[in-house]
Amino acid sequence: MAASKSIIVFHTLLPEFEYFRPKTLQEALELLDKYKGDARILAGGTDLLVDMRMRLKQPKYVIDIKGIDELHTLKYEEGKGLTIGATVTLDELLNNKIVKEKYYVLWDAIRQLADTHLRMKATLVGNICNASPAADSAPALLVLKAKVNIASVNGTRTVEIKDFFKWVKKTILEPNEMVTSIFIPEPPEGAKGRYLKFVRSAEDLALVGIAALVANPKDPAKRIVRIALSSVAPTPVIVEEVEELFKQDKPLSELAEEAVKLVKSKVSPITDVRATKELREHMVEFGTRYLLKTLLEG
């Protein structure tokens, strides 16, 4: 059965486009394959519609996936992990007990993302697909070692979140591919995490965002320490060398200072209208030190 469609024309707000609302994932994938680079996926629309109003994106076809039940999965399997479908909203995640208790670093990031009204529409998958260097959810997903599930008419593939972002507003997605879900494995036993966001005012984009996850801080053999950041490079980044650094049997205070220097050496912040390079470098140093001290001594 063909997906329903209509022509939408907003002369003052949006460019003209053809609108589809498929009922199944297969329908959506067939439409995406048919129109490829001329089509855009609509889930929450909090980024897409803004870009269309500003004429940054002018798709000829918009494929609304909100009515596809199989994309609204939010399922936790103990010992395995959490699956978050493409149409699950940030508000749903914020009000989910498992997310808050087991994936606190993600919950902490989501609660600082946009405002209540936008979180009721915006999706986690949409936040990563927008691929902003300032994406609040990305550092949390990076330290949680999330995986991205991708589909097209040609089949499916899964990639690690660290390999998903390619450049500013660029991902590895091909024109006929879409993200169907994000999978986050079971966190390390006893893991604690936080997300620290530096902003100019409430509801602002991050000047710098830092996520940290720590487990077993007293045992060098089992110790896990991960740091990831946003707004410090063309893509969100995880400083993987930090995890190896903390395997050493040295005083935690000494390792923390080494980690701060390491993180600073791995980022490349810029000066823009929101902050200078030097201010961002200071935020990276202060924020990394603060999170490590808080979680390691916690």
Model confidence pLDDT, tens digit, residues 183-203: 999 999 999 999 999 999 866
Average pLDDT rounded to a whole number, residues 263-278:
96
Residue 20, pLDDT > 70, answer yes
Mutual orientation of helices 277-297 and 252-266 as an angle, nearest 10°? 150
Q: What's the one-letter identity of residue 246?
A: F
Element (H, E) at 48: helix 48-53
Q: What angle do CA 141, 147, 153 make, to 5 degrees?
A: 135
Between CA 205 and CA 293 the distance in angstroms is: 25
Element (H, E) at 184: strand 178-185
Residue 54, pLDDT > 70, answer yes
pLDDT at 1 (0 to 100): 46
For the stretch 120-139, pLDDT in tens is 999 999 999 999 999 999 99
Beta bridge partners of 256: none
pLDDT at 171 (0 to 100): 98
User: Which range is least confidently modeled, 8-12, 200-204, 225-229, 260-264?
Assistant: 8-12
pLDDT at 204 (0 to 100): 85
Between CA 126 and CA 93 the distance in angstroms is: 14
pLDDT at 235 (0 to 100): 98
pLDDT band at 13 (very low <50, low <70, confident <90, very high): confident
Residue 112, pLDDT > 70, answer yes
Q: What percent of the chain has pLDDT over 90?
A: 92
Spatial neighbors of 123 by CB under 8 A, at least 6 apart, are: 43, 44, 86, 87, 88, 89, 90
pLDDT at 272 (0 to 100): 94
pLDDT band at 7 (very low <50, low <70, confident <90, very high): low
Contact (CB, 8 A) for 292 and 225: yes
pLDDT at 10 (0 to 100): 43
User: In the chain, what are the domains?
Assistant: 4-64 (3.30.43.10), 69-185 (3.30.465.10), 192-297 (3.30.390.50)
Alpha helices in 86-174 (DSSP H): 90-94, 97-102, 104-111, 116-119, 124-129, 137-143
pLDDT band at 11 (very low <50, low <70, confident <90, very high): very low
Between CA 18 and CA 67 the distance in angstroms is: 17
Average pLDDT rounded to a whole number, residues 35-54:
94
pLDDT at 2 (0 to 100): 53
Strand, coil or helix: what is 298? Answer: coil
pLDDT at 201 (0 to 100): 81
pLDDT band at 12 (very low <50, low <70, confident <90, very high): low
For the stretch 221-259, pLDDT in tens is 999 999 999 999 999 999 999 999 999 999 999 999 999
pTM score of the predicted model? 0.94
Higher pLDDT, 277 or 2: 277
